[in-house]
Amino acid sequence: MKHYAADEVVIHSIITHGREAALNGEMKMGDNTYAFCDVYEFANTKGNIIKEMKSYVLPIERK
């Protein structure tokens, strides 16, 4: 999804601990809405450099 820009992003929660962080939320792209979760591992506890990042994205079907 790196080639698309979101029209709206809503972050539901952010959790941090030491060198790890995670956030989840929803993003709208046109007529579609997606749930997402990003998990980060930083190179140190200052969190200046991201060592690894994993993203999970699922479409949300609205009725």
pLDDT of residue 1: 67
E-state strands within the chain: 8-17, 20-29, 32-42, 50-60
- Cα separation, 35 vs 26, in Å, equals 4
pTM listed for this prediction: 0.82
- Cα separation, 2 vs 43, in Å, equals 23
Sequence ranges of the domains in the chain: 8-60
Per-residue pLDDT of the chain (63 residues; tens, 9 = 90+): 678 899 999 999 999 999 999 999 999 999 999 999 999 999 998 878 999 999 999 999 877
